[in-house]
């Protein structure tokens, strides 16, 4: 489905990001993995290479524009072109036990960190990668939002800063899609609900019970189910879809 394509995955070394990296590799794409943890980058790159593609780990803090600039330049050198960008990197501050932090208890530095990693990094990486895509008149950009970008942080343990950052991604996705459409570049976003990962607080008994009662499917999603969405929107089967944010929630907002 992605044979011969070249992809960058920010935050591609753990959780949903790792699942996306491996799904792209299984579909035939060469991959570059951005992440702050060099050892995890290397480990996931080895998993991807075992699937028969080229994989390159690049240690990069995507909240730092200087590191992003160097990483994107190196990615273009390694891959030869950039067809796909998956902006997945994210952080979510919580209290011990996985409980969310009320907005009035948030430290300013925490707010800034979440915005830098979750929202600003999408701008930092996309503004540079899109220049390559514009030149080749082809590209697929997929951003990671969240259900709380639509509902606020009442649904689960995400803090207000996390919800605000994910709402910003939805709006940025639409703006990017509008500006890049004439260059044959599509931009879409995923808005997952509760997915079983370490960051989601899936081991928090209080939120597990509360959230399951709200989900018609009566289960949490898997990283692989989100990765399937990222594969579809990275493929040419989605060529007439842009500016959309797709809920992956087990029907959470039906009622």
Q: Over the stretch 104-133, which tens digit does the pLDDT of each residue have? A: 988 999 999 999 999 999 999 999 999 999
CATH code where residue 61 lies: 3.40.50.720
144 forms beta bridges with 190
Mean pLDDT of 174-181: 99
Model confidence at 203: pLDDT above 60: no
- Write the pLDDT tens digit of every residue in 85-108: 999 999 988 777 667 788 898 899
Domain residues for 235?
A: 6-248
Q: Quick check: 38 pLDDT over 90?
A: yes
In a domain, 255, yes or no: no
174: CB partners within 8 A, 6+ apart: 243
Residue 176, domain member (yes or no): yes
Global pTM reads 0.94
Phi, psi of 87 (to 5 degrees): -90, 100
Look at residue 253 and tell me whether its pLDDT is greater than 90.
no
254 in any annotated domain: no
Catalytic (active site) residue 162: yes
Active-site option among 24, 162, 207, 233: 162
Which range among 115-119, 162-166, 201-205 shows the weakest confidence by mean pLDDT?
A: 201-205
Domain assignment present for residue 1? The answer is: no
Would you call 107 exposed, middle or buried from its count of C-beta atoms within 10 A (0-12, 13-18, 19+)?
exposed
Contact, 166 vs 122, CB < 8 A? no
Q: Give the pairing type, strands 30-35 and 55-59.
A: parallel
Closest to 122 (Cα-Cα) out of 79, 63, 175: 63
Number of domains in the chain: 1
pLDDT band at residue 197 under the 50/70/90 scheme: confident
> What mean pLDDT comes out for the span 174-183?
99
Residue 21 lies in a domain: yes
Give the DSSP H/E element, type plus range, for residue 233.
Answer: helix 223-234
């Amino acid at each position: 489905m992605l044979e011969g394509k070249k992809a960058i995955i920010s935050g591609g070394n753990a959780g949903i990001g790792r699942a996306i990296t491996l799904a792209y590799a299984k579909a035939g794409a060469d991959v570059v993995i951005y992440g702050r943890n060099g050892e995890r980058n290397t480990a996931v790159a080895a998993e991807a290479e075992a699937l028969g593609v080229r994989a390159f780990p690049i240690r990069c803090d995507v909240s730092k524009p200087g590191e992003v600039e160097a990483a994107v330049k190196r990615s273009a050198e390694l891959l030869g072109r950039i067809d796909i960008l998956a902006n997945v990197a994210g952080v979510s501050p919580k209290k011990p036990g996985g409980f969310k932090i009320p907005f009035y208890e948030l430290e300013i530095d925490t707010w800034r960190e979440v915005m830098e990693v979750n929202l600003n990094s999408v701008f930092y990486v996309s503004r540079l990668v899109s220049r390559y895509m514009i030149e080749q008149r082809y590209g697929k950009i997929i951003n990671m939002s969240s259900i709380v970008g639509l509902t606020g942080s009442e649904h689960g343990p995400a803090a207000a800063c996390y919800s605000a950052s994910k709402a910003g991604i939805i709006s940025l996705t639409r703006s990017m899609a509008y500006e890049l459409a004439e260059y044959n570049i599509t931009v879409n976003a995923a808005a997952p609900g509760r997915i079983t990962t370490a960051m989601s607080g899936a081991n928090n008994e209080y939120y597990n019970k509360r959230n399951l009662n709200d989900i018609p499917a009566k289960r949490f999603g898997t990283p692989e189910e989100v990765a399937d969405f990222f594969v579809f929107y990275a493929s040419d089967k989605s060529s007439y879809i842009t500016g959309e944010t797709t809920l992956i929630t087990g029907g959470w907002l039906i009622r």
